[in-house]
Each structure stands twice: as structure tokens, then as C-alpha cells.
Amino acid sequence: MSELTPATEPAPGSRARAGLRRLTALALGLAMIYFGSKKLGDPAGFLKAIHEYDSLANLHFAFLNILATWIPILEITGGILLFLGILRRGAALVLLLILLGFTTAVLFQTLYLQETLGKSFCDIAFDCGCGTGVVHACTKLLQNTLMILACAWIAWTPEPQKVR
């Protein structure tokens, strides 16, 4: 008598987690396409916003120009890959690094403006260069933190295995 191998059943809740992960990747992908498109649509405005960051003031202007050119392209490409489900973990990792860099810059710029203007932290508002105009720092930092967590979850969670 031959022994039959049992069919592998997905772990309880794994379909729900996979669906939530896919929805998160779709939403994050759309957000990154939107933000990247806004920056790419106004490269001079994005470059100007980058130049206004006190924490980036010591960087060479050519490096800032390269950032202003490539960040929107990487955001749009990463967003498209997340949306389509292609190279999802790698795209999320690249977007995570971009978000970590810009979130740190927003935090330092907010602290600088808080000290300079004498306002409370959440009263600080400025054009962060994200493509949406003037934003309140607390709102932007919360938004970026949620996108960072989403990128990390997508990047470090293995793709669900398909059951045959």
C-alpha cells in the first residue's frame, strides 16, 4: 500500500495576512507613484525644497541635483513594482531606505525650525518636498512612519507559498 502525502494546507490566517500584505503593497505602491509623479512633475520645486533643508545644506549641490533627479524615478519605479507585485520585497527595501532618509531630514528640519521659530513641534509646517506642498511636521512624520512600517513588513515578510 503506497503512502499518500497529505495536501499542504495553508496556516490559519495566512490567506488573510497575504491579502492584507497585497492590499498594503497596492496602497503603498499607489502612494509612491503619486509622490514620485508630483516631484517629477516639478523638478525645480523639488530641488528647491531639498536645498532648504538645513541638515542637507553642507552637501554638494551636484549631489543634491542627483538626488532630485533619481528619487522621484526610484519612487515611481518602486511604486509600480509594488503595485504589480513584481520584485515586491526589493522594491519595498529601496523605498524603505528613501523614506528613512527623508523622514530623518524632515525630523531634523522640524527640530531646527522649532528652535529657530520658537514654535511647538506640531505647529511647525513647511514644504517638505514630498510633492503635496506645505504640511504639518507631525502629520508628515506620522505618515512617513506608517509607510516605513509598511515597507519593512513587505520587505521582511516572505512571499506566501502557493498551494499546489
pLDDT per position as a tens digit, 22-46: 999 999 999 999 999 999 998 888 8
Tell whether 120 is covered by a domain. Answer: yes
Alpha-carbon distance 32 to 148, whole Å?
Answer: 12
Residue 1 lies in a domain: no
Residue 9 falls within a domain, yes or no? no
**Which are the contacts of 112, defined by CB distance < 8 A and separation ≥ 6?**
54, 55
Between residues 13 and 97, the one the model is more confident about:
97
Of the two residues 159 and 98, the one the predictor is more confident about is: 98
Alpha-carbon span 152 to 134, nearest angstrom: 27
Q: Work out how many domains the chain is built from and give that number.
A: 1
Rounded CA-CA distance 88/64 in Å is 28
Do the domain assignments include residue 20? yes
Residue 130 has what pLDDT? 86
Q: How confident is the model at residue 8 (pLDDT cuts 50, 70, 90)?
A: low
Asked if the structure places residue 69 within a domain, the reply is: yes
The Cα 113–Cα 47 span in angstroms is 19
Tell me if 126 is assigned to some domain: yes
pLDDT tier for residue 144 given thresholds of 50, 70 and 90: very high
pLDDT, tens digit, 9 for 90 and up, residues 78-133: 999 999 999 999 999 999 999 999 999 999 999 999 999 999 999 999 988 888 88
Q: What is the mean pLDDT of residues 44-52?
A: 84
Give Cα 70 to chain centroid, integer Å: 14
| Structural domain includes residue 163 | no
d(CA 83, CA 77): 10
Task: Indicate the pTM of the whole model.
Answer: 0.84
Residue 5 lies in a domain: no
Residue 33's domain comprises 16-156
Helix (H, G, I), strand (E, B) or coil at 94: helix
- List the beta bridge partners of residue 126: 135
